[in-house]
Structure 1
Amino acid sequence: MNQPSSEGAAAETQSGALFLMAMLALGTVAPTVFWGLPVIVGQIAQQWGFGAAELGIAVLGEVFGMAAGTLLMATVLARRPLRITLAATIALTAAANFATPFAHSLALFIAVRAVAGIGAGALSGIAMSCLSYTKAAERNIGWLVLLQVLWSMALLGYVLPVVGATAQATGTYVCIGVLALVFLPAIALFKRAEAFVSAEADNSARVDVRGVMLLLGCIFALYFGVGVLWTFLEQIGMRAGLSEARVATTLVYANLASLAACVVMPRLGHGNGLRRWAIINIGACVASAAALTLPQTPDRFAIAAIVFIVAWTGAATLIFATMPRVDTVGRYATLSPGVLSLGFGIGSAAGGELIELLDARAAVGLACVFCCVSLLCYVSLGRAREAEQDALARASQS
């Protein structure tokens, strides 16, 4: 899809409030399984009796499916008409979720959930790419992260427990399939032949592939750390001697503060402030993760956990908003949700293994290392861009 500032069908399509609201809703709802994973895993175990190891394989299969779905959007489907792609991925997502209650064997369950992950990843990629190339990308992606946090809180706190109590995991997957079908009318928001990347744009615009790889590495490393800390934050706190009630209260305050970050960071990171505030937020993730490796008191844990969650939310908003600066064509923004989920899934698995084999401090230390890698990738991205601009300036003067 062409950048909205350019002339063409995509610019006209993306100018309306209806389009913006539809893409925000799609980007929020498409990864519903991802946001509701802690409750959904419990529902699966209760209804079908899968063990922890089997559930871990199934979740990893769905996460890899999401990554594959975003990769398909960035490569094979990049030049296909978006109307056809959107309709096909909605149908695929709905069908896989409707079929899940009939997949009673582990192998069949993993296969069906991998297909569902492909559909969810493709839908998330469509939404992320469309939002990344609107005129106020920082603001719109900030709204997306805000809505995702709210949707996750609603899923975990009310929606999934109510649906699970009524119809167990079967009801959950049927509801997710129905939610996918709700977006079928969004097909009409795209012009008949409109694609993510037109042949003209692909030939004329230059993509900073090195910058894209650094940015995707930054996302993967950050969410690897998030996968360790967010998944096991309660266990980390309780193993440090804190009560379950104190840890839960800390997480509530952290979520509320992260909502404020979703609103404030796009304003602070607008224009030239984007790189500076992204580095500050990723650096705060590193510092707070390092603080969680120290012997914990209730106050130290609360401060470190809140800072990490708020900084992670702010960093994600600004990192996603950086993508249009390195990929003006619009092809690679679709990869962001898949790389995110892949980093989170692998980080969760690695964190669980380390907690069982060693201790919680070792898992937090690994998260801190990956947050450092994320910071290094983002800083390297900025230095590479500055070096490129200096080279171009010298070339123009000679």
Structure 2
Amino acid sequence: MASRSSKRQKFDEIWLLVGLIGINIFLALPINLGPLQTGALMDGLKLSSSQAGVVGTIEPLIFSIVLVCFPRLPRRFGTRTLGVFGLTGAIIGNVASGMSDSFATICFWRLFVGASTGLVALAGFAALATAARVDRMSALVTVVVTLVGVGVVVVGGNVTQEGGFRWLFWFSAAISIGCAVIATALPERRNETGPPLRLSTVGRSPLAIGTVAYLFAGGAVWPFVERIGVKSGLTVSQVGEALGFTLLAGLAAGVAALALAKPGRERTLAVAGILCFGGGCAMLTLSTTPAVYISSLVVMFFFFVFVGPFLTALAMKVDGTGGLAAAIMGWSTLISSLAPAVSGRLVEGDQFDRMIWLVLASTIVGVVVLARGKLVAHSVPPQPETASAYPSARSDP
């Protein structure tokens, strides 16, 4: 019986891994294709940089609102149902986005896609929480998604070069269809979650403030990566290729984080990584040649991935339930989603170097708060025990 139970658990974990890969390939699309979207919309719909910044803001804005306000949806509907439903909505939204012909229309459909993406993310996090080894499962998913992301960015750059924003969104829809099929491997689980942390608790956390500040710096620059690349002397397709190949820096960062990870080092490594990430963002705003542009992207990608495990480890030290880590992600996404609109006001035309002060200020705030802030353990009321064993990952409870 023990042998059969062990085999069943391994089988369930494989299905979970496959489903999470589908979910996370989709969730990586805003990072992989987002930089191409801004420039394509500016060219195709003749949007100003401010309008393009607004479009880049509203999608993550509604995404974070869904993430923060509706954490119990996976429990009500189940992880597989919610994930596939969200992916279906994203497919519809991306197809409609490619057919848009005005600023108002594209805003509406990107809001629709953002809300759908939030549902997919909720399903993904709820499913990941049921893994026997969350850290190992996350690492495996990250490796696969990063490798796939290289191809997505390269193909996306060429697609955008040929067909503009319409083909870009339809390409996203095609990928979403594949992800929806893969996501059907997710177990249909309805996990009980603990009560959400109060906003005041998260707002007072130096970890939350520091994370928000550093992500704000990245969020200010990221939507204009494609435009900066073109200004530096690359074509749109070459920018896509550069983004794709620099994604490989994320794999190296994962290995480096694993090698350096030791108890007590988390804060030091996180602060150092954020400082280097901010330096990469600042260097990107000043880029005028392909060499500087690509070097800046490598630094950004490497330290963005490198910092993640240590910030998560710090959050788990403060709150062992994982509630703080989830809350920080939701609120940091919500606040940093305002960054493109702010930076868009600064770069009217192509004066991207004007963003450097915003980037440096945000990075310094993040570094100082994380380095000097006091991390106080959060007390969470005890929760009633719930069953964690499931007869089958492929069957409804």
Say yes or no: TM over 0.5. Answer: yes
Aligned residues: 365
Pairwise CA distance, 1:339: 4.5
| Structure 1 residue 195 corresponds to structure 2 residue 185 | no
Q: What's 1:77 paired with?
A: 73
CA contact (8 A) 2:63 2:115 kept: yes
Residues of 2 paired with 1:358 and 1:46: CA distance? 13
Change in CA separation of 1:244 and 1:127 when aligned onto 2, cut-off 3 Å? same
Q: What's 1:168 paired with?
A: 167
Structure 1 SS opposite 2:105: helix
Q: What's 2:177 paired with?
A: 178
Residues of 1 paired with 2:313 and 2:355: CA distance? 29
| Higher helix fraction (1 or 2) | 1
Change in CA separation of 1:343 and 1:365 when aligned onto 2, cut-off 3 Å? same
For residues 360-382 of structure 1, what are the alpha-carbon distances to aligned partners after superposition, in whole Å with 9 as ceiling and x for unaligned? Answer: 4442222122122222343356x
Q: What's 1:310 paired with?
A: 302
CA contact (8 A) 1:101 1:173 kept: no
1:28-39 to structure 2, matched below 5 A, reads 28-39=25-36
Q: What's 2:267 paired with?
A: 275
Residues of 2 paired with 1:57 and 1:207: CA distance? 26
Q: What's 2:258 paired with?
A: 266
Q: Percent identity?
A: 18
Residues of 2 paired with 1:45 and 1:237: CA distance? 15
Counterpart of 1:158 in structure 2: which amino acid?
Answer: V
Residues of 1 paired with 2:271 and 2:68: CA distance? 27
| Structure 1 residue 218 corresponds to structure 2 residue 175 | no
Structure 1-normalised TM-score?
0.70
Q: What's 1:395 paired with?
A: none
Q: Which runs of 5+ in 2 are unaligned?
A: 1-8, 380-397
Residues of 2 paired with 1:39 and 1:296: CA distance? 18
Q: What's 1:111 paired with?
A: 108
| Structure 1 residue 284 corresponds to structure 2 residue 276 | yes
Change in CA separation of 1:284 and 1:38 when aligned onto 2, cut-off 3 Å? closer
| Structure 1 residue 379 corresponds to structure 2 residue 371 | yes
Counterpart of 2:257 in structure 1: which amino acid?
Answer: M
For residues 70-107 of structure 1, what are the alpha-carbon distances to aligned partners after superposition, in whole Å with 9 as ceiling and x for unaligned? Answer: 12343x53642424533443343333334444554433
1:122-133 to structure 2, matched below 5 A, reads 122-128=119-125, 130-131=127-128
Pairwise CA distance, 1:319: 2.0
Residues of 2 paired with 1:276 and 1:231: CA distance? 29
1:352-367 to structure 2, matched below 5 A, reads 352-356=344-348, 360-367=352-359
Q: Which runs of 5+ in 1 are unaligned?
A: 1-11, 390-398
CA contact (8 A) 1:289 1:308 kept: yes
Change in CA separation of 1:128 and 1:321 when aligned onto 2, cut-off 3 Å? farther
CA contact (8 A) 2:203 2:209 kept: no
Counterpart of 1:186 in structure 2: which amino acid?
Answer: A
Counterpart of 1:36 in structure 2: which amino acid?
Answer: L
Pairwise CA distance, 1:210: 3.8
Pairwise CA distance, 1:123: 1.4
Compute the RMSD of aligned alpha carbons. Answer: 4.6
| Structure 1 residue 368 corresponds to structure 2 residue 367 | no
Structure 2-normalised TM-score?
0.70
